[in-house]
Amino acid sequence: MHNHPGSSIPSATDFESLRRSGASFGVIACHDGSMCRHSVLGKPMPGYDASDQALWRAIWQRMSNGKSEAEALKFIEDGWGVRIEHIGKD
């Protein structure tokens, strides 16, 4: 468990840390009062670019096209093999 002062979702480094440590999941305490539970579901998609820019770009593209945060995070889960649950965020 750790915090993200900017209340951001898990970074690519957070997922790499889970993979290396073998932990089942991690928790991020956000300064806006929400929490993010994140886990690795399996092997990443072929060609996975484990970078914050790629992660944020994929989420932003979906949200800018009218998808909700939950729908954007589900896309990441289905395509990238990582789960992000944003708890306490409206």
Q: Structure tokens of 20? A: 């290396």
Return the DSSP state at 46: T
Domain ranges in the chain are 2-87
**Predicted local distance difference test score (pLDDT) of residue 49:** 57
The residue assigned the tokens 């670019």 is 49
Residues 69-87 have pLDDT tens digits of 899 999 888 888 889 998 8
Report which of residues 64 and 49 the model is more confident about: 64
| Burial readout 40-50 (b: 16 or more C-beta within 10 A, e: otherwise) | beeebeeebee
Residues 3-56 have pLDDT tens digits of 888 888 888 888 888 888 888 999 999 988 889 999 988 765 555 556 778 888
Q: Are 52 and 12 in contact (CB under 8 A)?
A: yes
